[in-house]
Amino acid sequence: QVDLVESGGGVVQPGRSLRLSCAASGFAFDKYGLHWVRQAPGKGLDWLAAISYNGNNEYYADTVKGRFTISRDNSKSAFYLQMNSLRVEDTAVYYCAKGGVVVAGALDSWGQGTLVTVSS
Amino acid sequence: DIQMTQSPSTLSASVGDRVTITCRASQSISDWLAWYQQRPGKPPKLLIYDVSTLKSGVPSRFSGSGSATEFTLTISSLQPDDFATYYCQQDNTHWTFGPGTKVEI
């Protein structure tokens, strides 16, 4: 079965950086797109970024474009979210998710999430 | 960017009720529409993709319909496990979630 496990969350000061990781197993990792989605406390889901199966195409929400970078390492079945210039409003649970073949389509499997708290 | 809206934002219902949630897109998204269920403290779960295709293992009481800009999620007979928040999501142009509909007792 598909398993996605996030790590790297924690408390960070505004303006600092953090890198989240997602370890994947149970599927042909190098054939699927991958996503990051966040959820602020008590709020809805906020799609952040996606990367194509081979890493050649990246997609970002306007709210994080230029600050966040998604990447993947197919040799390790892992992908990442580099978050720079963090703001208080970036405080949220961050989920990694598996997308469709190549990248298109719905997010059919999700990790349990990792909490990022941006606070001074 | 494509914006998604959902109605109602909260829905009060009882076990056995038929429930319908509406999702609207700000422009046509063809059939690139998915529905997710999220219980408190848990990650979202994909229920339906491509408007009406049930993910394997999802009970048949869930169904989806619609096209272009207006879509619905229907639960034919609400079960105790179904009290949760439901999100629609478009994947026609990037990915955007609706604001969610909380189904409560």
Cβ pair B36:A45 closer than 8 A: yes
Angstrom distance (rounded) from CA A73 to CA A71: 7
pLDDT at B93: 87
- Average pLDDT of chain B, as a whole number: 96
Question: How far is C-alpha B19 from the chain's CA centre?
Answer: 11
Mean pLDDT (whole number) for B87-101? 95
Q: What percent of chain B has pLDDT over 70?
A: 100
Angstrom distance (rounded) from CA B105 to CA B91: 31
Q: Which two tokens stand for residue A91?
A: 């405080």
Residues of B with CB under 8 A from a CB of A: 1, 32, 34, 36, 38, 43-46, 49-50, 55, 87, 89, 91, 94-100
Please write the tens of the pLDDT for every residue from B14-64: 999 999 999 999 999 999 999 999 999 999 999 999 999 999 999 999 999
CA distance to partner chain A, nearest, from residue B60 (Å): 18
pLDDT at A105: 87
- The string over B34-66, giving b where at least 16 C-beta atoms fall within 10 Å of a residue's C-beta and e elsewhere, is bbbbbeeeebbbbbbbebbebbeebeeebbbeb
Average pLDDT for runs of 10 along chain A of length 120: 97 98 97 97 97 95 96 97 98 96 88 98
B49 CB neighbours in chain A (<8 A) are: 105-106, 108
pLDDT at A94: 98
Tokens 């990246």 belong to residue? A58
pLDDT at A100: 86
Cβ pair A106:B91 closer than 8 A: yes
CA distance to partner chain B, nearest, from residue A60 (Å): 8
CA-nearest residue to B100 within chain A is A44
Angstrom distance (rounded) from CA B74 to CA B62: 6
